[in-house]
Amino acid sequence: MSGPGGRYAQNTSVPVERSRVEVEQVLAKYGATHFGTMTKPDGATIVFEFKGRQIQLAVPMPPKTDKAFTHKGWRARTAQAKDKLWEAEYRRRWRVLVITVKAMLEAVDSKLLTFDEAFLAHIVVPGTAKTIGGEIVPRLDAIYAGQLALLSENPR
């Protein structure tokens, strides 16, 4: 989904490392601690802690074999062109993460949302590596269809 002017940060030249540092600086400004970044072939994940909550935010990437990178119409791109497009998309997605984190934290700071409301889907369930969103989002269709209850009748 892209807006009328194209995708946000579509032509960015900002290196991923600079965006990662900027995210950490923004998080620190608002009081987050214990930062980390994990990279893998299909993207990256940043983790941090805020007032006792552990948070995971993903920067997912389609595989380099995705047609958006390998072809222009019916014509195959060169390996160099494919890599250049993939790297540009990776930079763009990191810029999207920067603006997303800034907006979420500003909403919390301005008291439009609580931290838990803004970051609920990204809060790590204690004792697991799973996020609340990772547990609930795959079940939303079943919940809306009445096939699954989100909340138990007798909370502890």
How far is Cα 45 from Cα 33, in angstroms, rounded to an integer?
A: 16
**2 belongs to a structural domain:** no
List Cα–Cα distances, 99 to 49, 68, 81, 96, 103, in angstroms: 19, 24, 27, 5, 6
**5 belongs to a structural domain:** no
Q: Give the confidence band of 156 by pLDDT, cuts at 50, 70, 90.
A: low
**139 belongs to a structural domain:** no
**143 belongs to a structural domain:** no
List Cα–Cα distances, 104 to 33, 98, 154, in angstroms: 16, 10, 32
List Cα–Cα distances, 83 to 25, 64, 66, 79, in angstroms: 29, 7, 11, 6
**71 belongs to a structural domain:** yes
**56 belongs to a structural domain:** yes
Number of domains in the chain: 1
Q: At what angle do helices 16-29 and 79-109 cross, to 10 degrees?
A: 10
Range of the structural domain that residue 81 is part of: 16-128
pLDDT digits 0-9 by tens, 83-110: 999 999 999 999 999 999 999 999 999 9
**136 belongs to a structural domain:** no
Instruction: Give one DSSP letter per residue of 11-70, joined into a string.
Output: T----HHHHHHHHHHHHHHTT-EEEEEEEETTEEEEEEEETTEEEEEEEE---TTSHHHH
pLDDT digits 0-9 by tens, 36-45: 999 988 899 9
**153 belongs to a structural domain:** no
pLDDT digits 0-9 by tens, 103-152: 999 999 999 999 999 999 999 999 999 999 999 999 999 989 988 887 76
